[in-house]
Amino acid sequence: MRIPIHREGWPFIGLFFVANIFLFLLARWLGWLFVPLTLWCVAFFRDPARRAPPGDGLLVSPADGRLLPLALAAPPLELGMGEAPCQRLSIFMNVFNVHVNRIPVAGTVATLSYRKGRFFNASFDKASEHNERMSIRIRTERNGRVLDLAVVQIAGLVARRIKCDLTQGQQVQYGARFGIIRFGSRVDVYLPPGAEVLAAAGQRVKAGETVLARLH
């Protein structure tokens, strides 16, 4: 069975594979001891196909993982969306989740902003404010109104690389891939006013498939 792999993963998989061969040459038991780590590396960079559910005004999860408690918070200031608090949905990804990120709604990339920061555990609430992050402002239309929402890729305790393939002004499609975060992380979504949350805290979600909210 063919396992689809994200292109960011091949250098790491190659490194683990070479290390595994070296350990087998050094001592067979060391090689077998390292095999689970090599298999984990392959699994970490898996990139399964996903199909966004049909529906009107739906917002899908940008990441695989567990939905953290819902919160009211202001979007990152660098996005220029104001300081008024809005509904924030946060998805925590552990090292066993798929880490390929997907676009929650169709629209236009209005703003991109990368900010260096710290590497607190991504499940902590302070990670949204203090950790290294890539912030994305997506502009969409709904019933003749222009709506802005934010998607924020956040590095975690062991994550050290955020990859975002988007460019400012780019048209993006609902459920399409847009990046990856390496080795445990978090993605926040800041909803526009009037959005109806359909997911619940603690729920396991899948990028591009699980519906988080509906835009009105």
Largest CA distance in the chain: 67
177 located within any domain: yes
Set 61, 90, 128, 185: catalytic member: 185
Choose among 208, 5, 215: nearest CA to 103: 208
Indicate if the pLDDT at residue 128 is higher than 80.
no
Looking at the 3D structure of the chain, how many domains does it have?
Answer: 2
Tens digit of each residue's pLDDT (9 = 90 or more) over 203-213: 999 999 999 99
- Name the band, by pLDDT with cuts 50, 70 and 90, for residue 59: very high
What is the full DSSP assignment across 144-159?
A: TEEEEEEEEEEE-SS-
Of 47, 17, 80, give the one whose Cα is nearest residue 176.
Answer: 47
Q: Is residue 204 a part of any domain in this protein?
A: yes
For residues 166 and 153, is the Cβ–Cβ distance under 8 A?
no
Mean pLDDT in the chain?
Answer: 89
Are 102 and 194 within one domain?
Answer: yes
Same domain, 127 and 77: yes
Q: 83 and 169: one domain? A: yes
- 51 belongs to a structural domain: no
Tell me which H or E stretch contains 67. Answer: strand 65-67
**How far apart are the C-alpha atoms of 206 and 187, rounded to whole Å?**
12
Residues 32 and 118 in one domain: no
Q: What is the mean pLDDT of residues 60-88?
A: 93
200 shares its domain with 105:
yes
pTM of the model: 0.88
90 and 129 belong to one structural domain: yes
Q: Are residues 70 and 121 in the same domain?
A: yes
Distance CA 207, CA 93 (A): 11
Kindly state whether residue 129 falls inside one of the protein's structural domains.
yes
Confidence bin at 60 (pLDDT 50/70/90): very high
Looking at the fold, whether 123 and 186 belong to one and the same domain comes out as yes
CA 177 to chain centre: 10
In this structure, the answer to whether residues 64 and 128 fall within a common structural domain is yes
Residue 194 region by backbone torsions, left for phi larger than 0, else alpha for psi between -120 and 50, else beta: left
Alpha carbon distances (Å) from 55 to 36, 58, 70: 40, 6, 23
- Its domain, for residue 26, covers 7-44
- Interacting residues of 52 by C-beta distance below 8 A, sequence separation 6+: 58, 60, 174, 175, 208, 209
Q: Do 96 and 199 reside in the same domain of the chain?
A: yes
What are 154-171's pLDDT values in tens digits?
886 655 578 899 999 999
Q: Which of 76-80, 102-106, 109-113, 129-133 has the lowest mean pLDDT?
A: 129-133
State yes or no: is 185 an active-site residue.
yes
Higher pLDDT among residues 81 and 144, named by residue:
81
Residue at 36 is within a domain: yes
Tell me whether residue 26 is exposed, middle or buried, using C-beta atoms within 10 angstroms of its C-beta: 0 to 12, 13 to 18, 19 or more: exposed
